Amino acid sequence: MGNSHQINHVLTFVIFLNPNVNTNTILIRKSPLIVSGLLKILFCTNFTYKQTSQPNYVELCHQHFNEIVCIVCIIILITNVKSRLLIECKILSPIEELIMDLMSTDDFKLWSNLPSGTRIDLHSHTKCSDGGLLPHELVDRAVNFQLDILAITDHDTVAALDIANDYIVEKNIPLKLVNGIEISTLWQGFEIHIVGLNIDKTSPDLLQLIASQQQARENRAVAMGDKLSKCGFDDIYDQAKSIAGEGSITRAHFAKVLVRQGHVSAMQKAFDKYIGKGQRAYVKPSWCSIEEAVAVIHAAGGSAVIAHPVRYGLSTKWVRRLVVHFKEQGGDALEIVLPQMGNEQRKLMLSFCLEYDLKASMGSDFHYPSKWSDLGRNLKMPEQATPVWSQW
């Protein structure tokens, strides 16, 4: 029996149980996608195909014909969908809504089968934290650099996400925006950043943590300003606050003030001499734990990723300890690809992913244009790694 005949048998069951069906409106082409979606939802079947082309939904129907018939009959009998599930796409019941969401969103196609050559950057910042560009400017730059997918991951804030998304929609920009955040945490005396990707930015747990983190950030900034004043730099807190505007105030804003006033020649010098760990104006932060950050990200439906694990000044032994702790807390992925990262570092991070069954992420950690790093630069996922977006 041919594939098309098998599909028609499915639709025959629909028509038999629903005599009001207008057979002229049935979209045979759509039905395989719908029924495969039904199988995925109801039986938790994960249709994953190791091929570059789009999955053959007609072949799916051929392989799972008996299951499809049962599912279609059950759905029709229980929910009395009256065939709109297959023909009019009007949302009448919870199961219809779930299926139509699956069909209507680009995410189902996007994340399940990304085309070869898709350019992705899952770590970037705007002026809503310590970045140098406004959200819409970052979007424009991403398009200019031919990115297909961009995550905005500002420090302890999601303020940029609506702004960027509204701009993308208004201008009809061909860019997929991933909702993200970078949460500051403390572990063994080290400040470790945990990126949350594909999050629900309206999650109550997330918003509560953001409020707490922002208060801790403000308290730290005030204390840092006092210490810098004792170093002879007056009014530095107010100037740093002015640069931050409505965004999250960070040490980078203090570094910018010190550079502008001529006290140091570069931002890194400000950290090395004044506001870095162990220096005169350093203030120990009061961030949340890795465990809390991971839990909140998961509560928001997202994936938790250790940001730039090679940048914390840790020995390989301590990085391993960090990874083990992160895994024990339910962490999902490591950021194993960064623009300025040696091959040996990438191999080491990949080995940790494979050893501890963690997904892999990649991002530029873009803050502002520079000759050393930029959006999407040198970002390529290793073939052996399982990308973090595979679980979205």
Q: What pLDDT is attached to residue 372? A: 80
Tell whether 141 and 189 lie within a shared domain. yes
User: What values do phi and psi take at 276, rounded to 5?
Assistant: -75, 165
Highest mean pLDDT among 29-33, 62-66, 111-115: 111-115
Output the average pLDDT for the chain. Answer: 81
Is residue 137 within 8 Å of 109, Cβ to Cβ? no
> Which tokens belong to 9?
């048998």
Q: Of 121-135, 154-168, 360-374, which range is least confident?
A: 360-374
Residue 297: inside a domain: yes
Residue 275 DSSP code? I
**Is the same domain home to 220 and 186?**
no
In terms of domains, do 266 and 291 share one? Answer: no
The pLDDT assigned to 82 comes to 38
Is there a single domain that holds both residue 235 and residue 266? yes
Backbone dihedral region for residue 364 (phi beyond 0: left; psi -120 to 50: alpha; all else: beta): alpha
The reply to whether 59 and 104 lie within a common domain is yes
> CA 392, CA 386: separation in Å to the nearest integer?
12
The verdict on 258 and 152 lying in the same domain is no
Q: Is 291 contained in some domain?
A: yes
Least confident of 7-21, 129-143, 192-206, 361-375: 7-21
**pLDDT one-digit tens code per residue, 79-99:** 444 333 333 343 445 554 554
Give me 278's structure tokens.
């162990």
Contact status, residue 193 vs residue 164, Cβ threshold 8 Å: no
Q: Against a cut of 0.75, is the pTM above it?
A: no
Q: What is the per-residue pLDDT for 187?
A: 97
State how far Cα 258 lies from the chain centre.
Answer: 33
pLDDT digits (tens, 9 = 90+) for 227-240: 999 999 988 999 99
Residue 166 identity (one-letter amino acid): D
Token couple for 377 = 């630069």
Residue 15: pLDDT band with limits 50, 70, 90: very low
Of 26-30, 128-132, 215-219, 287-291, least confident by mean pLDDT is 26-30
Domain count, the chain: 3
Residue 147 located in a structural domain: yes
Give the 3-state secondary structure of residue 147: coil
Share of residues in the chain with pLDDT > 90 (%) = 64
Domain holding 253, by residue range, is 215-275
Write out pLDDT tens, residues 291-320.
Answer: 999 999 999 999 999 999 999 999 999 999
Do the Cβ atoms of 354 and 328 come closer than 8 Å?
A: no
| Sign, Cα dihedral of 125, 131, 137, 140 | negative
Q: What is the mean pLDDT of residues 350-364?
A: 98
Q: Give the H/E segment covering residue 190.
A: strand 190-197
What is the model's pLDDT at position 204? 98
> Which residues are CB-neighbours of 355 under 8 A, at least 6 positions away?
none
Which tokens is 358 given? 């963690």
Q: Are 287 and 216 in contact (CB under 8 A)?
A: yes
Asked whether the beta carbons of 331 and 306 are under 8 A apart, the reply is yes
Q: Where are the alpha helices (DSSP H) in 50-202?
A: 57-63, 65-79, 94-104, 107-112, 135-144, 159-171
